[in-house]
């Protein structure tokens, strides 16, 4: 029997990590997971994420592809990894995948949430690690109108770090869902798209919050959706309130249970 392709679904608290991607001398989620895999498999095993998350960003659904020896059933691999991982990373589930599964290129959709605390309570130690405390009520109508403009296919060059996409990239993303919803003590912005550019959710939230606080007009949003650069975007909202919630793959890539 040949090697197995497994999808691991990870939760992590981004507070103690310099982001997802392996970097020499830094504590990163990929680095920690690959260390554990090497210990279990007695050889280097690459953990390929669906995409990078920035330093401080959390996940409760980061998808990671690994190739391991035939002796590793997904569920026993999951338990073995969890037994060795530190407390701030956890493998929630593990799936046997077709050999052609690729965590990044096979993904058809990704979903993020961004938590904004409007009341004083957002400063509580139980919320400040995962919520952006804006300390004031927000114009919900303006937020809803802004989010509605995002749905559909647009070029998001105005909301991305420049130079991070290849030159031929058209920066187009298809937004399936973008909406502000009530969460305890504040609001949460949920967005689902086929792909995201670097810092895109944080730039979008930063700009929408400026609109909701009356610092810039709602019309700026559609201007930015047609911009050729990011010169006029608001500063990105801070990373610690952002969660990667889910990565979606075609059903056909999952191996049917034997």
Interface residue with a copy of itself, options 73, 80, 104, 121 (CB under 8 A): 121
Among the listed ranges 34-42, 117-125, 149-157, 202-210, the one in contact with a copy of itself (CB under 8 A) is 117-125
DSSP-H helix ranges across 113-164: 140-150
Min separation Cβ 62 and a copy of itself, Å: 12
Task: For residue 89, state whether it binds a copy of itself (rule: CB under 8 A).
Answer: yes
Interface residue with a copy of itself, options 23, 26, 123, 223 (CB under 8 A): 123
Task: For residue 149, state whether it binds a copy of itself (rule: CB under 8 A).
Answer: no
If 0-12 CB within 10 Å is exposed, 13-18 middle and 19+ buried, where does residue 98 land?
middle
Please give the C-alpha separations between residue 51 and each of 1, 28, 102, 104, 253, in angstroms, as whole numbers: 30, 13, 11, 6, 18
3-state secondary structure of 113: strand
Min separation Cβ 66 and a copy of itself, Å: 20
Interface residue with a copy of itself, options 4, 5, 13, 37 (CB under 8 A): 13
Per DSSP, 56 falls in state T
CA 214 vs. chain centroid, Å, equals 28
List the catalytic residues.
54
Interface residue with a copy of itself, options 12, 101, 180, 203 (CB under 8 A): 12
Please give the C-alpha separations between residue 24 and each of 32, 37, 39, 221, in angstroms, as whole numbers: 12, 18, 18, 38
Interface residue with a copy of itself, options 58, 110, 154, 202 (CB under 8 A): 58
The footprint of a copy of itself (CB under 8 A) covers 11-13, 58, 60, 82, 87-90, 92, 120-121, 123-126, 128-130
């Amino acid at each position: 029997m040949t090697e197995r392709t497994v999808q691991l679904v990870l939760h992590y608290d981004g507070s103690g990590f310099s982001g997802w991607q392996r970097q020499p001398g830094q504590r990163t989620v990929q680095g920690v997971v690959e260390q554990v895999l090497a210990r279990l498999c007695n050889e280097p095993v690459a953990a390929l994420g669906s995409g990078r998350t920035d330093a401080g960003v959390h996940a409760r659904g980061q998808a990671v592809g690994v190739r391991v020896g035939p002796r590793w059933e997904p569920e026993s691999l999951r338990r073995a990894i969890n037994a060795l991982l530190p407390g701030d990373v956890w493998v929630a589930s593990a799936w046997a995948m077709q050999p052609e599964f690729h965590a990044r290129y096979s993904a058809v959709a990704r979903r993020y949430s961004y938590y904004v605390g409007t009341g004083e309570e957002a400063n509580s130690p139980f919320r400040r690690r995962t919520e952006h405390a804006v300390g004031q009520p927000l114009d919900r109508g303006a937020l809803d109108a802004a989010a509605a403009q995002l749905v559909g296919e647009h070029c998001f060059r105005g909301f991305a770090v420049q130079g991070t996409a290849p030159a031929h990239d058209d920066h187009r993303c298809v937004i399936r869902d973008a909406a502000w919803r009530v969460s305890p003590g504040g609001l949460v912005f949920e967005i689902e798209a086929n792909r995201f550019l670097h810092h895109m959710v944080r730039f979008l939230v930063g700009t929408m919050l400026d609109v909701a606080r009356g610092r810039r007009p709602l019309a700026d949003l559609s201007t930015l959706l047609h911009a050729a650069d990011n010169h006029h975007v608001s500063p990105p909202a801070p990373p610690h309130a952002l969660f990667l919630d889910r990565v979606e793959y075609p059903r056909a890539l999952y191996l049917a249970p034997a």
